[in-house]
Amino acid sequence: MKKFNFPLDTVLSYKDQALDNLKSEHAQILALVAQQEEKVSSLTEQRRAACIRFQEETHCGMAINVMREYECYITYMQQRILLEEGKLKKLRKREELKRNEVVEARKEKASIEKLKEKKLVQYNKEVLRSEELFIEEFVSNKMSVQGSR
């Protein structure tokens, strides 16, 4: 009997490639998210350290112009943190969308694989049936040959 041939193998191969590409893109976005989280964390730590220095130096006394510089720096850092948090939020949204694409691609691939499995089971049943028919025919032919002697 002929070899099992699944007509959607090329589609399955394409879906597999597409899934691999989506996973790769998702991993890249996850790396960007981690990098952005680190950036926000670093900026937050720098701002916190500046606030502590400002508090320590105000206890010792400082010039007004130095005090204004600290305030300007702390305000600037807060604005940068907000800006970077906005970028982080956008990256997380991109990551969520890409994750959903990966999930959908997995579902599509899984449905085609299940269809392939069903077709393979059906094919194996047909092969078994044809082999049984062949054996029955062989036996009946053998019996008829022996019976005619």
Task: Tell me what the mean pLDDT of segment 6-24 comes to.
Answer: 93
What's the domain count of the chain?
Answer: 1
Which region among 10-14, 18-22, 46-50 has the lowest average model confidence (pLDDT)?
A: 10-14
Task: Tell me what the mean pLDDT of segment 123-138 comes to.
Answer: 88
Task: Tell me what the mean pLDDT of segment 10-23 comes to.
Answer: 95
Q: What is the DSSP letter of 8?
A: T
Which region among 60-64, 72-76, 86-90, 100-104 has the lowest average model confidence (pLDDT)?
A: 60-64
Establish if 1 belongs to a structural domain: no
Establish if 129 belongs to a structural domain: no
Average pLDDT for the chain = 92
Establish if 114 belongs to a structural domain: no
Establish if 89 belongs to a structural domain: yes
The residue range of the domain holding 101 is 9-107
pLDDT surpasses 80 at 144: no
Establish if 124 belongs to a structural domain: no
In the chain, what's the furthest Cα-to-Cα distance? 126
Of 33, 30, 34, which is closest to residue 22 (Cα–Cα)?
Answer: 30
The pTM assigned to this predicted structure is 0.76
Cβ 74 vs Cβ 47: under 8 Å: yes
Establish if 54 belongs to a structural domain: yes
> What was the pLDDT predicted at 1?
57
User: Residue 137 — very low, low, confident or very high, per pLDDT cuts 50/70/90?
Assistant: confident
Establish if 141 belongs to a structural domain: no
Establish if 148 belongs to a structural domain: no
**In whole angstroms, how far apart are CA 37 and each of 27, 81, 85?**
15, 11, 8
